[in-house]
Amino acid sequence: MAHKHENGDDEGKSASKAYETRDVKLRPLIVFAAGITVMGVASYLVIFVLFRLFSGQAATQDAQLAPASLAQPAAPGEERLPPEPRIQANPAGDLKMLRDQEDAILKTYGWVDRPAGVVRVPIDVAMKLVLEQGLPVRQPDSAPPAVGTPAPSKTPQGQRQKARK
């Protein structure tokens, strides 16, 4: 259906303006692009200057001798080790050695404190002993109570409540 205007002249133009009728302003667009470019170049220059400054400082610090290098050289046949902590040459082997040492302690008999008569027993033997003998229980009057612990009363719990009423 054709749309007819009231004035009668139909030149193929729409009466509604559902689109931009003017062009984009070019000056603000150019100013924005120039500003972004200037900011990018300025930030690049700042980073470049800082990089040069920091790399120069690092070079002077690297040139200084470390205190460990000023020490006397090792005698022939003597091995000098770097200060602790050292890098592990064989971490898997070190871990295996540590676990073997711990297993030896946990699975064998030995003295913990010989003068005091304290020994260690293998875990499986200790577990059997606990099952047979049970865990040790402290006697009520064997040790003084800790500081701040209220003294136990002589009356049972149920009688104490009746006495309050």
- Between 125 and 14, the more confident residue is 125
Say if 19 falls within a structural domain: no
User: Please, which pLDDT band fits residue 23 given cuts at 50, 70 and 90?
Assistant: confident
Judge whether 146 lies within some domain: no
Q: How crowded is residue 106: how many other Cβ atoms within 10 Å of its Cβ? A: 13
CA gap 108, 119 in Å, rounded: 10
Residues 95 and 93: their CA atoms lie apart, in Å, by 5
17, pLDDT greater than 80 = no
What is this structure's pTM? Answer: 0.33
Structural domain boundaries enclosing 96: 91-136
**Domain annotation covers residue 42:** yes
The residue count of the chain comes to: 165
Residue 29 lies in a domain: yes
User: Residue 71: pLDDT above 70?
Assistant: no
Residue 158 has pLDDT above 60, yes or no: no
pLDDT at res. 144: 65
Predicted confidence (pLDDT) at residue 56 exceeds the cutoff of 90: no
For residues 35 and 28, give the distance between their C-alpha atoms in angstroms, rounded to a whole number.
10
In angstroms, what CA-CA distances link 32 with 36, 40, 42, 46?
6, 12, 15, 21
- Give domain status of residue 164, yes or no: no
Q: How far apart are CA 123 and CA 107, in angstroms?
A: 6
| Contact by Cβ (8 Å): 123, 106 | yes
The pLDDT tens digits of the residues spanning 84-125 come to 888 888 999 999 999 999 999 999 999 989 999 999 999 999
DSSP 3-state of 88:
coil
Q: Tell me the percentage of the chain whose pLDDT exceeds 90.
A: 41
> Does 155 map to a domain?
no
Whether 98 maps to a domain, the answer reads yes
**With 60 as the cut, is the pLDDT of residue 126 above it?**
yes
Sign of the Cα torsion 149, 150, 155, 161 reads negative
User: Quick check: is 51 in a domain?
Assistant: yes
Residue-level pLDDT at 83: 80
- Quote the number of domains for the chain: 2
> Residue 98: what pLDDT?
95
